[in-house]
Chain A
């Protein structure tokens, strides 16, 4: 049972434009959501997070939006840069499960210069 889904395996965006990565979840008990970025041959790097009591969190070029009623979150990167090309993982946690994270399958972002 895939509780966190990233339906787009890949996304290609022009440098300077907005990148929007999407994530859907099914478990209404999730109370915290995170985005990780992963380059080849490296471990995932924490990018940004959002609590379920908020609907938006911004950090520089990265903004995460949460729509609880739709069980949907998205990561916006503005402006996109070639160095943003990586695999992006959405992750969620539910307090009842402790601090374990449930990850989506990832979306490959390619930013073309």
Chain B
């Protein structure tokens, strides 16, 4: 199993550009999420999905869109990049093996710089 994969690993954007960060998992997990990691702030939830066709906003959703057309894929779209979106982005997947115990499986991350 490849687990959770993310592309690209690195990306530099100019302010106002748009792009899509790709995320895929091959574990048939029902839950997927996107986090951003900034120094001293831990991980903050951007958007999440509890199944194909179902998405919802997390703590910091502004400026980002998601969709989940299949169980495997959960792309994150930046609509109009801003310097405040410079961060490391992690995709994660999970399953509800024990209700409430959402153990997360993380991808390797995408380091995004917006100039």
Q: Do A and B come from one complex?
A: no
- Residues of A participating in the B interface, judged by any CB pair closer than 8 Å: none
